[in-house]
């Protein structure tokens, strides 16, 4: 079980934890409004631009009876106006949770270390757990069972692919990644990684992302030449040898990492993935923040991560940092 009441990485979860979140997310699609977060205030910190993540978290919080508070551009720059520990301590006095989309995962970890309220990773340079939960929920709609199924990621190894890999492991899905030399997993990440696109043979779903993530836009021209052979088009999908599904976290650069014909095809799941961001995030919010009297209600599954209200933040923060 997850040691602390934060959701920073899928590596914190067991397979049972992840399955419970999927069950809860599926249940949220049948119930639009609820009271799981009634009386709760959630601070939203967005260092990076966002469409899907910001809108779905705001909607999710409101549909669950809570109030989202979006920090302004100046306040969202972690460590600039005031230190991250001081920001965390202050927010812990007033609100019940923090959703943060940040440039550096280390900043997110520091925020969680000094906050005494739940912190949710809405994207960092290391992981994007909310996206991966929505991705697996989408595949559970497409496939009756995961046994024998393979998901192949094509392109730059990044935060999205890392979370997808972890989510596949938690779900019992086979996973492999394909990309150019020098753009693969970090040392120590035991991923089935290949440089030849022939490795896509047998894949049931092909997933890609942009070739230059936020903060790497200045490298785009150089990356286009390196990644061009890995564009997901009809010819590349044919290498699977079957009618493979296509996935993308969005936003997509049409004509670069994927063609229009693939994005708009009947086997493309991209907008189903986007739709599932809302119930996936509702499931995470419930697991971390559900009111105690709602814990056994029909809102969702029992809470996975428990935190019993506001306490003296300094000892707790230090305990989290050094345990």
Supply the CATH number for residue 176's domain: 3.40.50.1370
Confidence of residue 128 (pLDDT cuts 50, 70, 90): very high
Whether 209 is catalytic is yes
214 lies in the same domain as 84: no
Per the model's pLDDT, the better-predicted residue between 154 and 309 turns out to be: 154
State yes or no: is 131 an active-site residue. Answer: yes
Three-class SS state of 296? coil
- 198 and 138, same structural domain? yes
| Statement to judge: residues 110 and 135 lie in one domain | no
- The parent domain of residue 63 ranges over 10-127+277-322
Q: Which of 2, 223, 277, 313 is catalytic?
A: 277
Residue 96 sits in the same domain as residue 208: no
Closest CA to 206 of 168, 247, 177: 247
What average pLDDT does this structure show over 241-260? 97
For residue 196, CA distances in Å to 16, 22, 200, 273 come to 34, 33, 8, 27
Q: Is 77 a catalytic residue?
A: no
Does residue 177 share a domain with residue 283? no
- 246 with 270: CB under 8 angstroms? yes
* pLDDT over threshold 80, residue 313: no
Q: How far is CA 26 from the centre of its chain?
A: 16
Span of 102-116, 172-186, 201-215, 230-244 with lowest mean pLDDT: 201-215
Is the peptide bond prior to 239 cis by the omega test (within 30 degrees of 0)? no
Res 291: pLDDT:
74
For the ranges 40-44, 120-124, 197-201, 220-224, which has the lowest average pLDDT?
220-224
**Interval 86-103 mean pLDDT:** 97
Band the pLDDT of 218: cuts 50, 70, 90.
confident
Task: Please state, rounded to an integer, the average pLDDT across all residues of the chain.
Answer: 90
What pLDDT sits at residue 300? 45
Catalytic member of 2, 52, 101, 162: 101
Which one is catalytic: 128, 149, 176, 307? Answer: 128
Same domain, yes or no: 254 and 302 = no
- Whether the pLDDT of residue 214 is over 90: the answer is no
Question: Would residue 176 count as lying in a domain?
Answer: yes
pLDDT band at 296 (very low <50, low <70, confident <90, very high): very low
Burial of 213: CB neighbours in 10 Å, binned 0-12, 13-18, 19+: middle
Band of residue 219 on the pLDDT scale cut at 50, 70, 90: confident
What are the residues whose beta carbons fall under 8 Å from the beta carbon of 149, sequence distance 6 or more? 139, 143, 173, 174, 204, 205
Count the domains in the chain.
Answer: 2
* Global confidence as pTM: 0.90
Per-residue pLDDT band for 318 (boundaries 50, 70, 90) equals: very low
Q: Which of 107, 156, 249, 273 is catalytic?
A: 249
Asked if residue 188 and residue 101 are part of one domain, the reply reads no
Q: Is residue 3 part of a domain?
A: no
Predicted confidence (pLDDT) per residue in 14-32, tens digit: 999 999 999 999 999 998 8
Q: Are residues 215 and 265 in the same domain?
A: yes
pLDDT at 226 over 90: yes
Report cis status (omega within 30 of 0) of the bond before 295.
no
Q: What whole-number distance in Å separates Cα of residue 130 and Cα of residue 281?
A: 6
Active-site residue, 168 included: no
pLDDT value of position 309: 40
Q: Is 1 contained in some domain?
A: no
* Of 209, 231, 248, 303, catalytic: 209
Q: Looking at residue 321, what is its pLDDT?
A: 46
Are 136 and 269 in the same domain? yes
**Shared-domain flag, residues 79 and 183:** no
Q: Which of 28, 131, 231, 273 is catalytic?
A: 131
Kindly state the average pLDDT of the residues 6-11.
Answer: 97
């Amino acid at each position: 079980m997850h040691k602390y009441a934060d959701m920073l990485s899928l590596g914190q979860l067991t397979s049972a934890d992840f399955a419970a979140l999927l069950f809860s997310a599926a249940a949220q699609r049948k119930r639009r409004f609820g009271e799981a977060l009634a009386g709760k205030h959630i601070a939203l910190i967005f260092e990076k631009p966002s469409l899907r993540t910001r809108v779905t978290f705001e909607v999710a919080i409101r549909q669950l009876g809570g109030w989202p508070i979006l920090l302004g551009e100046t306040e969202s720059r972690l460590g600039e106006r005031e230190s991250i520990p001081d920001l965390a301590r202050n927010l812990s006095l007033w609100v019940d949770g923090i959703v943060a989309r940040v440039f550096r995962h280390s900043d997110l970890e520091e925020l969680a270390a000094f906050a005494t309220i739940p912190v949710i990773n809405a994207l960092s340079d290391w992981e994007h757990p909310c996206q991966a939960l929505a991705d697996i929920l989408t595949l559970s709609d497409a496939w009756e069972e995961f046994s024998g199924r393979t998901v192949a990621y094509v392109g730059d190894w990044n935060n999205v692919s890392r979370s997808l890999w972890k989510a596949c492991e938690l779900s019992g899905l086979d996973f492999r990644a394909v990309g150019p030399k020098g753009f693969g997993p970090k040392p120590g990440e035991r991923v089935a990684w290949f440089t030849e696109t022939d490795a896509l043979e047998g894949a049931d779903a092909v997933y890609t992302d942009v070739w230059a993530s936020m903060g790497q836009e200045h490298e785009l021209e150089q990356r286009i030449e390196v990644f061009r052979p890995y564009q997901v088009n009809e010819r590349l999908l044919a290498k699977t040898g079957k009618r493979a599904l296509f996935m993308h976290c969005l936003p997509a650069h049409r004509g670069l990492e994927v063609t229009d014909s693939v994005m708009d095809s009947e086997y493309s799941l991209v907008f189903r993935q986007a739709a599932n961001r809302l119930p996936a995030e509702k499931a995470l919010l419930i697991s971390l923040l559900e009111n105690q009297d709602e814990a056994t209600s029909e809102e969702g599954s029992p809470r996975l991560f428990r935190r019993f209200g506001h306490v003296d933040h300094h000892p707790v923060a230090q305990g989290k940092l050094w345990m």
